[in-house]
């Protein structure tokens, strides 16, 4: 049954009621996640997630299948620009809210760094860290060695079929 919007309440409030806001966490919440899910296998994924496409959905479903709890890092605005040489279409909060509504995602946070930064790994020690094939480079491997990451690393075998950047550039023509 549809509940009508109370008079004087904007669409934004109704939109927020539909969102699973409990999934949105901050960086300072990460250590408490490890305690809360001490007996669970935590998987950590990361990305920009600006324009959501089927590749994102497939990757997140796969990541969730590897463990009990899926935590997703959303690349912050500053890092997003550094990495892609363009601003994101959606704010980091909007991207986090969108990803947070996806069924496989248990928690999501934003951070102006990489999901495999030592600061993140030390904060809550995920059991599994996931990457897509393009992202798992030699520099990432070295960063993980330097961080002394002790969990498992899983790299998806999916062939890259979608890209937010290529979707955007194809729409310009």
Residue 11 resides in a domain:
no
Range of the domain at 94: 39-172
The pLDDT value given to residue 15: 43
Answer whether 113's CB lies under 8 Å from 76's CB. Answer: yes
Which of 12-16, 75-79, 106-110, 155-159 shows the lowest per-residue confidence on average (mean pLDDT)? 12-16
Encode pLDDT of 80-103 as tens digits.
Answer: 787 777 888 889 899 999 999 999
Residue 158 CA from chain centroid, whole number: 18
Which of 79-88, 111-120, 145-154 shows the lowest per-residue confidence on average (mean pLDDT)? 79-88
Residue 92 resides in a domain:
yes
Number of domains in the chain: 1
Residue 48 resides in a domain:
yes
End-to-end C-alpha distance for the chain, whole angstroms: 43
Residue 18 resides in a domain:
no
- Give Cβ neighbours of residue 111 (< 8 Å, ≥ 6 apart): 27, 73, 74, 75, 76, 79, 117, 120
Residue 43 resides in a domain:
yes
Residue 8 resides in a domain:
no
Helix, strand, coil fractions of the chain, as percent rounded to 5: 45, 15, 40
Model confidence at 53, pLDDT cuts 50, 70, 90, reads confident
Encode pLDDT of 16-45 as tens digits.
Answer: 444 555 688 998 999 999 999 999 999 999
Domain containing 118 — which CATH number? 3.40.50.620
């Amino acid at each position: 049954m549809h509940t009508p919007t109370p008079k004087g309440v904007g669409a934004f409030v109704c939109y927020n009621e539909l969102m699973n806001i409990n999934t949105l966490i901050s960086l300072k919440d990460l250590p408490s996640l490890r305690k809360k899910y001490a007996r669970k296998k935590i998987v950590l994924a990361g990305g920009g997630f600006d324009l959501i496409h089927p590749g994102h959905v497939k990757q997140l479903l796969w990541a969730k299948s590897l463990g009990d709890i899926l935590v997703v890092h959303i690349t912050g605005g500053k890092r997003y620009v550094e990495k892609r040489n363009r601003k994101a279409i959606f704010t980091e909060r909007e991207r986090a809210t969108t990803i947070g509504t996806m069924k496989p995602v248990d928690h999501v946070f934003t951070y102006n760094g990489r999901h495999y930064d030592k600061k993140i790994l030390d904060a809550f020690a995920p059991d599994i860290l996931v990457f897509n094939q393009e992202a798992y480079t030699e520099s990432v491997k070295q960063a993980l060695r330097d961080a002394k990451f002790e969990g498992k690393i899983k790299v998806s075998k999916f062939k890259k079929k979608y890209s937010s950047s290529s979707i955007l550039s194809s729409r310009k023509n």
